[in-house]
Amino acid sequence: MQTFDQFETLVAGEREGRDNFKILVSSVLPRPVAFVSTISAAGVPNLAPFSFFNAVGSNPPAVIFSPCTMRDGTDKDTLNNIREVGEFVVHVVPHNMKEGMNETAAAVGPEVSEFDLAGFTPIKSQFVKPPRAAESPVQMECKLVQIVPVGEGPLSANICIGEVLCFHIAEGYLLENGVVDSAKLDLVGRLDGSGYSTIRDRFEMPAPKR
């Protein structure tokens, strides 16, 4: 394997948040995309994508994602709704949902439902108040465990930790061995800038035997 002996060292604390953001999103990739539905206390549903996202445990199943504070110091509707209601639904994003998902990332006010804006179909959830989007083949109803802020002000993280209360998996997507058919899911990943990737070049590498 190649080794490197020359590095450019960028001290995060001496740089603007947006410059650190550029390094992060062009190095930590591809990032899975959580398409998150929430609902405000006033009852307005919301949908938005988040690629600072991952699964972090299985007993109980747990996910995290981070709606970051905006450049003007205000918080995103998703975060405000989760603070108010304490529940959310994480959906996966197949390739054929990408344009609709992207439309929901528009900066619109809390009075606007991105379900209507981008043409997603709301269906009732079983355990939580936010509706689900029927277009996504895997949906996870989550209750908030904790919001962990990292820093404060513009571009700071607000890590939402969720416990998954139930998985909804579309008919035909769950294989007999208990895994979801990832080839059929055909999810997209987020890269830097306006870049995305697919998961169509999968390779296999069994874990070491001991």
Ligand X SMILES: Cc1cc2nc3c(=O)[nH]c(=O)nc-3n(C[C@H](O)[C@H](O)[C@H](O)COP(=O)(O)O)c2cc1C
Residue ranges that bind ligand X, judged by CB under 6 A:
33, 46, 48-52, 66-68, 76-78, 102, 105, 107, 190
Question: Measured from the CB atom, is 52 or 120 closer to ligand X?
Answer: 52
Question: Measured from the CB atom, is 23 or 175 closer to ligand X?
Answer: 23
CB of 52 to ligand X, least distance (A): 3
CB of 193 to ligand X, least distance (A): 11
CA Rg, the chain, in Å?
A: 18
CA distances from 60 to 54, 127, 141, 161, 165 (A): 15, 15, 13, 12, 9
CB of 48 to ligand X, least distance (A): 3
Beta-bridge partner residues of 32 = 189
Question: Measured from the CB atom, is 67 or 137 closer to ligand X?
Answer: 67
Question: Which secondary structure element, helix H or strand E, spans residue 160, and what is its range?
Answer: strand 157-169
Contact 164, 127 (CB under 8 A): no
Question: Measured from the CB atom, is 37 or 139 closer to ligand X?
Answer: 37
CB of 6 to ligand X, least distance (A): 32
Region of 208 on the Ramachandran plot (φ > 0 left; ψ -120 to 50 alpha; else beta): beta
DSSP state of 190: E
Question: Measured from the CB atom, is 97 or 164 closer to ligand X?
Answer: 97
Contact 79, 65 (CB under 8 A): no
CB of 148 to ligand X, least distance (A): 14
User: Distance (Å, rounded) from C-alpha 42 to C-alpha 9?
Assistant: 47
